[in-house]
Amino acid sequence: MQWCTSSTPLITTSTRRKSGVPGVHENALPLLRQLPGVDAVIAQEAGNDIPHVDYWAMLLDLPLHFCETPAPYFHASEDAIQRWPLPAGQLHVDVVWKGSTAHDKDRFHSLPGLETLRTLFSVPGIAWRSLQKSAGEEEALNSPPGISLLALGHQVQDYADTAAIVAQLDLLISVDTSVAPLTGRWVSPVGR
């Protein structure tokens, strides 16, 4: 998600007619296909051939070439937002407390559990929701006593769903996961 910050100026300043994004994880396809100027988004899967290109750049090197980026550049579709309605009259705060256990530095990215955030959940007038996926999802579904939390992560199918939820929230509190930079691409505030 982070490299998308630099893809828009790259595409808009390019003299090439075609642009593409190779090696994208399947759950990010619906969201990345809406990037302005991108002609193709190629799924990351075995046997998927990347077409011949004239030029290429390492995605994480793109910020070196572009200093300013228009924001926001991801938008949740109205249809997706309609699938994730929020009750009016409450402050909506979403939390993500664990990253991927497959990440070799996960112990530096993840919190031990929801108990670590217990003080936050005691703040009145907030509708707390979890966008936690994979590790921690079970804890969200069976939150500890005294922690009122609506678990949404298990229902989220892809980043387009995440975008629709995030577009409506008031604040995201997250460890360093993909949800944080995604949220930062909207006007939605992020607390890390």
Residues 91 and 173 in one domain: yes
What residue type is 12 in one-letter code? Answer: T
What residue type is 145 in one-letter code? Answer: P
Residues 165 and 92 in one domain: yes
pLDDT in tens, 139-192: 999 999 999 999 999 999 998 899 889 888 888 999 988 888 777 666 454 544
pTM over 0.75: no
Of 92, 103, 73, the C-alpha closest to 182 is: 73
Flag whether pLDDT at 99 surpasses 50. yes
pLDDT at 26: 76
Residues 35 and 112 in one domain: no
pLDDT at 74: 72
Check whether the bond before 72 is cis (ω within 30° of 0).
Answer: yes
Tally: H helices and E strands in the chain: 9, 7
* CA–CA dist 182, 162 (Å, integer): 9
What range defines the domain where residue 14 resides? 4-65
Of 13, 116, 34, the C-alpha closest to 78 is: 34
In a domain, 109, yes or no: yes
CATH number of domain containing 145: 3.40.50.2000
In a domain, 71, yes or no: no
Return the residue matching tokens 């907030």.
Answer: 126
Two structure tokens written together for 131: 């966008």
Average pLDDT, the chain: 78
Which of the listed residues 13, 36, 65 is the one where a domain comes to its end? Answer: 65
Residues 160 and 130 in one domain: yes
pLDDT at 180: 81
pLDDT in tens, 14-60: 555 555 555 667 777 777 777 766 677 777 665 666 667 776 666 66
pLDDT at 183: 74
How many structural domains are present in the chain? 2
Residues 18 and 92 in one domain: no
pLDDT at 167: 86
